Amino acid sequence: MNAFVAIVKRDLTLALRRKNEVITSVFFFVVVAALFPLGIGPEMNTLRLVAPGILWVGALLASMLSLGRMFATDYTDGTLEQMALSPNSLSLLVAAKILAHWLLSGLPLVLLAPILGLQFDLSSNALWVLTLSLLLGTPVLSLIGAVGAALTLGVRGGDVLLSLLVLPLYVPALVFGAGAVQAEISGLGASAHLSVLAALVLVAAVFSPWASAASLRIALES
């Protein structure tokens, strides 16, 4: 656990020294959420209807912006090779990097979502469900994205290939995340959608670090 905490602190410290990488994702999310109401118009019923999809798609795309850098820097400077040779489990170290990625690219979106949801005239209950769905769903995006980032590490045109790999796998999180908010707005209740998101988090948390570590070993050996 000392190694786990050290990796998280290291990645957070390095990211804070390059603030533009963190700000880019947050700024993209804010711009997407702010421009759509201007294009759609002031009709509140329409805004409430499209709000869950817009906010969730914006969060999904914003989280993808930093996926390519999750392992790239460590791969270039040799840190990743040292992590693979260390006595600590590579899966555990990868899990620490995934947690750091979520803290930098996922958690800010969760905190901003209720504020941005106000311009769509969402009720307080809908805003609460939106925040909870993103709190459960954005870790899924980081966990699945880590596998894609590991598989495309060192590959020419890896960013495009990464998008092609992870976008289809993001669909369940997108559907159930936006569906939870829509169900709450419709009065149907969001518990079923949130339960599915929680299940997705558990499954991804079990398999993603292991799959990412295996992919990284292949990349280091090639």
- In this prediction, residue 51 carries a pLDDT of 84
Does residue 157 register a pLDDT over 70? no
Question: Per-residue pLDDT averaged across 95-104, rounded?
Answer: 90
Residue 87 CB: number of other CB atoms within 10 A? Answer: 5
Domain spans, the chain: 2-221
Q: What is the DSSP letter of 118?
A: G
- In this prediction, residue 156 carries a pLDDT of 73
Residue 15 CB: number of other CB atoms within 10 A? Answer: 18
Task: List the single range of 78-82, 136-140, 210-214, 215-219 with lowest mean pLDDT.
Answer: 78-82
Residue-wise pLDDT for 41-53, tens only, equals 777 787 888 888 8
- In this prediction, residue 199 carries a pLDDT of 94
What percent of the chain lies above the pLDDT cut of 70? 98
